[in-house]
Amino acid sequence: MRAGVTPEKSDATCDVSLAIAKYGASLPWYRLARMQESFGVPMPESVQFERCESVADAALSVFLHLRRMAADGEVVYSDDTRVKILSCLKEDEVLEEERRATQTSGIVVKVGGHWIALYANGRRHAGENLDELLKRRSAGLEAPIQMADALAANWSGEEETIEAKCLAHARRKFIEIERAFPSECGRVLDAIAKVYRAETEAKGMSAQERLECHQARSGPELAE
């Protein structure tokens, strides 16, 4: 056996490269198989799936640990993006009244000085997926701050959170109708601009200082 050549059919770096190509670059299995064949190293779709599954198995313990850490986070950002899931499309053929829509829920959590990004694919919405995450939260912790747009699906969980609706989404709606209602929208957009200025000046402050800054400057402006 030549030096440096292992008895395994593929090296671990090959497995990782396949996983990145499939799930990072979103290349379908058949296209990856065709590319491998052009390199003179044929690798059927089934083999590629098996190799990517081995990567998932190796990383599972890391994922579970990150999920456990995320459950105890202080601030959570959540949202949905529609996605097609082939296995669910087949199920749709026999479903009647059940929910058919499928989406990817992105959940980004601030834990101390770090950020953890989690993704869930399926028929559940972001609110439900966040609810599942927070069920693992350690007892005695204060409710986390949840940042999301006002879509009801983001708030469909039962676990307690401190609601923080996204002001950028609200501002966008007034931009859309500004031409029809220039003076009314101008008043709202001017108020939001003042909140943004306060937020810029609050950068670098502690969480408590930032809260007090917005309570003093942003609160009265938005209340008016």
**Span 5-31, pLDDT tens digits:** 667 777 778 899 899 988 888 888 899
**Span 24-43, pLDDT tens digits:** 888 888 999 998 899 898 89
Strand pairing class (103-111; 75-82) = antiparallel
Q: Looking at the structure, do residues 151 and 78 belong to the same domain, yes or no?
A: yes
- Number of domains within the chain: 3
The domain boundary, picked from 165, 183, 203, lies at: 165
List the one residue out of 141, 140, 119 whose CA is nearest residue 130.
Answer: 119
CA-atom Rg of the chain in angstroms? 24
Q: Looking at the structure, do residues 96 and 85 belong to the same domain, yes or no?
A: yes
Q: Looking at the structure, do residues 210 and 224 belong to the same domain, yes or no?
A: yes
Structure tokens at 127: 């609110």
State the pTM of this model.
0.78
Any idea of the CA torsion for 143, 149, 150, 155, to the nearest 10 degrees? -40
Structure tokens at 55: 């990567």
Residue 6 lies in a domain: no
Residues of the domain holding 41: 12-66
